[in-house]
Structure 1
Amino acid sequence: MANNTRLELRTVHVTRYVTPLREGGSLPAISEADDGFLYALKFRGAGQGIKALIAELIGGEIARTLGLKVPELVFAEIDTAFGRTEPDEEIQDLLKKSVGLNLALHYLSGATTYDPAVTLLPATLASEIVWLDCLLTNVDRTARNTNMLMWKNELWLIDHGASLYFHHSWQNWQEQSVKPFMQVKDHVLLPQASELEKVNAAFRLILTPARIRAVVDLIPEEWLVSETGLETPAERRDIYFEFLHNRVQHSQIFVKEAIHARQALI
């Protein structure tokens, strides 16, 4: 990455709701934007709301900073007129709740879900992804739901919305920032992750405070408004930064837990 660590995301305007990605109106959908591209759109009006969008944004851009492949993330504007002609009432309700700034990933047409029984990843790549998910406390990369795609013979990471679960309560975040990630025992790539110490040394050098700050600075201020009024947007942004910075500084704790969990498997 260049010395200038400032990051920017494009903003698109959603023009067409195409189809849900899974059953249920509260889940992501394939949508078209005014740039002519299709996106996997994550709605602010869905179950976990804006916090899932923040986790998706931070997780995706931290992964990209570390050199892992993630579809382009964009801010996606939905205006009040969008969805009025949608015949499905549940979807129409979701679109109404999602007016404003949402988040979307470039849709990888023709991609297939990663299947560990079909594709064995190199140990270093597997270790990089396990390390990332330990950093982010991402509970959603299991054999049941890998949240990885194969596209053009390369592995792409998607769906980081279940990361950073500390922000659903904001309690004891300092303590949580240095805890091991116990759920790593269920990580789909843990058996292949034999290079965790090597990856830890490399990734600690990449994730400097400036680079972490650049990712956190991408969060729109409107997404950081506290429901309780206890923290200002600037204070919440600083908590995300400190949480990630602390985890990098104490990464040996979660690496040790991951190595221990792997040894119990093999």
Structure 2
Amino acid sequence: MTDTTVPFRYSPIVDRPPLSWPGGARVAVHIGLNIEHFVPGLPSTSIWPGTADLVPDALNHGWRDYGARVGIWRTIDVLDRHGVRPSALLNSLVVERTVLREIVETIEAGTGTRPRGWMGPGLTETARTPELLAELGFDHVLDWTNDDQPYPLTVPGMLSVPYTLELNDLLLFARGVTGPEFVRMVCDQYEQLRADAAGGSGRVLALALHPFVIGQAFRTRYLDEVLGWLTAQPDAWITTTDDIADHYRAVTEPGRVAGPGER
């Protein structure tokens, strides 16, 4: 079955060749840290929709802006405490090829590194997005939250790497999930993925974090607990989306040389 409106073909996970992770790990774990700038006066994620149409929207913009002013630094401290290197998901606006090129050049100029992975604003794409991204040197996207393993898109050279809407602090805590429940959900997700991988084919656990959510002071202890538990798992590969993409290609494309993030 082929759906021409999406850039991939149907591939049931049970019919794929086994996928191995470095060091015999069963689960590759990546932390998607959403590092975002929000423009005052433009609509965006809101904690209270009642003021979202106001300009300025002090309530919602202040909540979002907390992440860049305070929450990000608290989150970085916890990540550093456990030696976890996150995947930095920098935001921007996307319209067409010219804008995409400007985004790539801006990020490269500011960080010294040309980005290889892409997540669209609000996990959105057009039909041409993967093709345009491939032209600019990207090799994977995170927009398709439909799998526990990487898989090739129909655009040559492009992969989908797992991201998550379920283990996503922005959505979980908005639904009333408590800190201890958040910890239990991450542990449950890992333990099930580890069990799924017992047949010899590795899985990916993605954890999506937003500094204006997880960076709130009263949630810090729970992020610390989650990272402490994950880093203590002997069959976890704590890594980044770039390294997951590199390793997937190394083990699925014969003759390919391993990337710098593989071990």
TM-score, with normalisation over the residues of structure 1?
0.29
Q: Which has the higher contact order (CA 8 A, sep 6+)?
A: 2
Q: TM-score, normalised by structure 2?
A: 0.29
